[in-house]
C-alpha cells in the first residue's frame, strides 16, 4: 500500500524525534557514555535522525565519531553482540546490539576525482564538517551524545517541514564530489514525496553526464531503491526531466515518441508510468506482496520495444509489431549493462516477452491446451504476469476496460480450475525418462530427450493420460520415427 506524502511542521518533527529517542535510549545512552569516557565524540546522524522526525525510524542506526576505526572497534567489543569491519577502508565499523543494526563511521570528507569511479576517503576533524559533506540538508542533521543535543547547521529541519531537497552547500560541489547524489535526489522524491529545490534540479540537469563515472553497480542499486519506493513515478519523471535517464536508462525517455498529427497511438511514456502505478496497486495479488522489483521493472520496461518497431501503414494506422520480442532483448541488454543478476534479468525479460500473450485470448476462445501453455511459459512468473497484464490496460473507454477485466478474470478462473485438476504448476510428461528408456529399450541420450518433449507436448494438448495410453502413444511415435 502506498504511504501518504510526508506532512509535518517543526514542532511535530521535534516531538516525534523525542519519542523515538526514548525508544533508542538503551542504545544511544550506553554508546554515548562509552565514547565520551574515551574522550571521543559520537552522534546519531543522517537518515535515522530524519526518519525519527518523520516517525519512521527503522532498526538501522548510523553514527559518526571522532574516533578512528580501530578505536571504535575496541569501544564496541564486549558491548555489541557482534562486530564486523567490512567497511573499515571507508572508516566504518558495524555491529549489532539486540534488535539494532549499527554503523559507526569516523568523521570524514570524501570526494571523487574527475575521472574516478571510487571515492577518495579522508578523515575529518569535526561534526559540522562531516555534516557539510552529506548529500541533502534533511540528511545533515545529528544528535550529539551523550546529552542528546540536536545539531542542524544547514537548516535541515526547515527543509524537512517544507518537504524540499536541498544540498548543504552548492549543489554543483556536492554532485561533483559524488555524482550518485543526483540519483539519490530522485530516489528521495519517490521515497518521501519531497520536491527538489530549483537550484538542485538545475545542477542535476547541467551535470547529468557526470553520472557516467559512477560504477554500474552503484547506479543499479539506486535505481532499485527508486523503483521500489512508494511513489517511483515522481523520481523517474525527475530523472527524465534532468537528462539523467538518458545516461542510466535511455529506454525510458525514448518512450516519449513524437505523436503523429492524428494521434493514432497513445503517449507511450505516459502509458508506461501509468502501467507502473497500476502494477503497484495490484501487488497485494502477489503471494509475498510488494514492493516487488521484478514486477515493477517489467511494467516500466514492457513497451521499450515500441520506438524500434513503430511503423505507419498506408492508411495511417500505427503499428508496433513484435515490440514484445524486441523489448525483451533490449531489456536483457540494459539489465546486463547495469550488472543485474542473471536471475532478475531473465525474469524481467521474460515478462516483457510475454506481456502481450493474453491478447490472443480474445473472447475466451483458447483451448485448454492453450491455457496450459500460457501457464507453462510463464512458469513461476505467472502471478507477476497476471498483474502486468491487468496493469497494461490504461484505456479510458470504461466499457472496453471492463470487458478486458472480465476476460482476464475468466482466464484466471480457468487456470485455477485446470490447476486443481492437473497440477499445472508442475506440468511434466506422463512418463519419466526411466520409463521412456524401459519402454523403448534405448539408453540415455538425445532420443530420450526427443521422446520426453513429444510426451510433454502431448500432455499440454490433451491433459493427463493414464500409463497405458501414454505408453501406446509413445510406441506409436517411436514407430513413426525414421530408423537410425
What pLDDT, on the 0 to 100 scale, is given for residue 4?
A: 43
Give residue-wise pLDDT tens across range 438-479: 888 888 888 888 888 888 888 877 788 888 888 888 888 888
Across the chain, mean pLDDT equals 87
Cα 480 to Cα 386, 442, 451, 459, 473: the distances in Å are: 40, 16, 12, 19, 11
CA gap 468, 348 in Å, rounded: 41
Give residue-wise pLDDT tens across range 222-248: 999 999 999 999 999 999 999 999 999
**Does the pLDDT of residue 112 top 70, yes or no?**
no
Model confidence at 41, in pLDDT bands (50, 70, 90)?
Answer: very high
Q: Which residues, at least 6 apart from 428, have a Cβ–Cβ distance to it below 8 Å?
A: 456, 459
Region for 381 from its dihedrals, namely left if φ exceeds 0, alpha if ψ lies in -120 to 50, beta otherwise: alpha
Give residue-wise pLDDT tens across range 153-181: 999 999 998 999 999 999 999 999 899 99
Average pLDDT over residues 190-204: 95
CA gap 189, 196 in Å, rounded: 7
Residue with cell 566504518: 92
**Does the pLDDT of residue 264 top 70, yes or no?**
no
List the grid coordinates of 58: 527503522
More confident residue, 216 or 431: 216
What pLDDT, on the 0 to 100 scale, is given for residue 8?
A: 58
CA gap 283, 162 in Å, rounded: 31
**Does the pLDDT of residue 423 top 70, yes or no?**
no
Average pLDDT over residues 370-389: 90
CA gap 96, 75 in Å, rounded: 13
**Does the pLDDT of residue 382 top 60, yes or no?**
yes
Average pLDDT over residues 106-118: 66
Strand 100-106 relative to strand 108-111, pairing: unpaired
Average pLDDT over residues 112-135: 76
CA gap 176, 172 in Å, rounded: 6
**Does the pLDDT of residue 101 top 50, yes or no?**
yes
The answer to whether 178 touches 80, Cβ cutoff 8 Å, is: no
> Which of 334, 299, 305 has its CA nearest to residue 321?
305
Model confidence at 144, in pLDDT bands (50, 70, 90)?
Answer: very high
More confident residue, 324 or 18: 324
List the grid coordinates of 38: 574515551
CA gap 33, 208 in Å, rounded: 44
Q: What sign has the CA pseudo-torsion 328, 333, 338, 344?
A: positive
What pLDDT, on the 0 to 100 scale, is given for residue 116?
A: 58
Please spell the DSSP secondary structure of 142-206, one letter per residue: EEEETTTEEE-TT-HHHHHHHTEE--SS-HHHHHHH-THHHHHHHHHHHHH--EE-HHHHHHHHH
Give residue-wise pLDDT tens across range 328-343: 999 999 999 999 999 9
**Does the pLDDT of residue 368 top 90, yes or no?**
no
Q: Give all domains of the chain, ordered by start, each with its CATH number.
A: 1-162 (3.30.460.10), 168-249 (1.10.110.30), 267-426 (1.10.3210), 433-479 (no CATH)
Residue with cell 568523521: 107
List the grid coordinates of 429: 510428461
Within 13 A of 290's CA, how many CA atoms are on the CB side? 29
Q: Where are the beta strands (DSSP E) in 59-107?
A: 60-65, 82-84, 92-97, 100-106
Q: Would you report the helix, strand and coil content of the chain in percent, each value rounded to 5?
A: 60, 10, 30
pTM, entire model: 0.81
Give residue-wise pLDDT tens across range 76-90: 999 999 999 888 888
**Does the pLDDT of residue 1 top 60, yes or no?**
no
**Does the pLDDT of residue 376 top 90, yes or no?**
no
Q: Which residues pair with 97 in a beta bridge?
A: 100
**Does the pLDDT of residue 312 top 70, yes or no?**
yes
The answer to whether 444 touches 433, Cβ cutoff 8 Å, is: yes
Q: What totals of helices (H) and strands (E) does the chain contain, helices first?
A: 22, 13
More confident residue, 381 or 21: 381
Model confidence at 2, in pLDDT bands (50, 70, 90)?
Answer: very low
Amino acid at each position: 500500500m502506498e504511504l501518504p506524502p510526508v506532512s509535518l511542521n517543526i514542532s511535530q518533527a521535534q516531538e516525534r524525534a523525542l519519542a523515538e529517542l526514548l525508544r533508542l535510549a538503551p542504545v544511544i545512552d550506553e554508546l554515548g557514555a562509552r565514547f565520551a569516557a574515551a574522550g571521543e565524540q559520537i552522534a546519531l546522524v543522517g537518515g535515522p535522525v530524519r526518519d525519527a522526525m518523520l516517525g519512521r525510524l527503522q532498526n538501522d542506526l548510523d553514527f559518526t565519531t571522532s574516533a578512528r576505526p580501530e578505536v571504535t572497534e575496541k569501544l564496541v567489543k564486549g558491548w555489541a553482540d557482534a562486530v564486523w569491519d567490512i567497511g573499515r577502508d571507508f572508516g566504518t565499523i558495524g555491529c549489532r546490539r539486540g534488535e539494532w543494526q549499527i554503523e559507526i563511521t569516523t568523521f570524514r570528507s570524501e570526494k571523487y576525482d574527475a575521472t574516478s569511479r571510487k571515492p577518495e576517503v579522508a578523515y575529518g576533524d569535526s561534526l559540522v564538517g562531516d555534516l557539510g559533506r552529506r548529500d541533502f540538508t534533511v540528511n545533515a542533521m545529528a544528535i550529539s551524545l551523550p546529552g542528546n543535543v540536536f545539531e542542524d547547521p544547514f537548516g535541515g529541519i526547515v527543509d524537512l517541514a517544507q518537504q524540499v531537497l536541498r544540498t548543504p552547500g552548492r549543489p554543483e560541489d556536492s554532485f561533483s564530489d559524488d555524482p550518485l547524489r543526483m540519483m539519490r535526489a530522485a530516489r528521495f522524491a519517490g521515497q518521501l514525496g519531497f520536491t527538489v529545490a530549483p537550484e538542485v534540479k538545475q545542477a542535476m540537469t547541467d551535470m547529468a553526464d557526470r553520472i557516467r563515472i559512477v560504477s554500474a553497480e552503484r547506479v543499479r542499486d539506486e535505481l532499485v531503491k527508486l523503483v521500489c519506493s512508494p511513489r517511483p513515478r515522481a523520481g523517474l519523471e525527475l530523472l527524465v526531466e534532468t537528462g539523467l535517464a538518458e545516461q542510466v536508462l535511455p529506454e525510458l525517455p525514448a518512450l516519449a515518441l513524437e505523436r503523429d498529427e492524428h494521434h493514432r497511438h497513445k503517449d507511450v511514456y505516459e502509458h508506461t508510468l501509468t502501467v507502473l502505478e497500476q502494477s503497484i496497486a495490484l501487488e497485494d495479488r502477489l503471494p509475498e506482496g510488494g514492493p516487488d522489483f521484478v514486477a515493477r521493472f517489467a511494467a516500466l520496461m514492457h513497451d521499450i520495444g515500441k520506438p524500434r518497431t513503430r511503423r505507419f501503414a498506408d492508411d495511417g494506422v500505427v503499428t508496433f509489431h513484435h515490440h514484445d520480442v524486441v523489448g525483451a532483448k533490449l531489456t536483457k541488454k540494459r539489465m546486463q549493462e547495469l550488472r543485474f543478476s542473471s536471475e532478475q534479468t531473465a525474469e524481467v525479460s521474460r515478462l516483457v516477452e510475454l506481456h502481450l500473450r493474453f491478447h490472443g485470448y480474445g473472447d475466451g476462445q483458447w483451448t485448454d491446451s492453450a491455457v496450459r501453455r500460457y501457464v507453462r511459459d510463464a512458469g513461476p512468473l505467472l502471478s507477476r504476469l497476471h498483474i502486468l497484464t491487468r496493469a497494461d490496460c490504461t484505456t479510458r473507454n470504461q466499457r472496453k476496460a471492463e470487458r478486458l477485466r472480465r476476460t482476464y478474470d475468466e482466464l484466471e478462473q480457468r487456470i485455477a480450475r485446470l490447476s486443481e485438476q492437473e497440477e499445472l504448476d508442475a506440468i511434466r510428461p506422463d512418463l519419466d525418462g526411466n520409463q521412456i528408456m524401459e519402454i523403448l529399450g534405448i539408453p540415455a541420450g538425445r532420443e530420450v530427450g526427443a521422446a520426453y518433449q513429444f510426451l510433454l507436448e502431448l500432455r499440454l494438448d490433451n491433459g493427463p493420460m493414464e500409463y497405458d495410453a501414454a505408453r501406446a502413444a509413445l510406441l506409436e511415435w517411436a514407430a513413426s520415427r525414421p530408423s537410425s
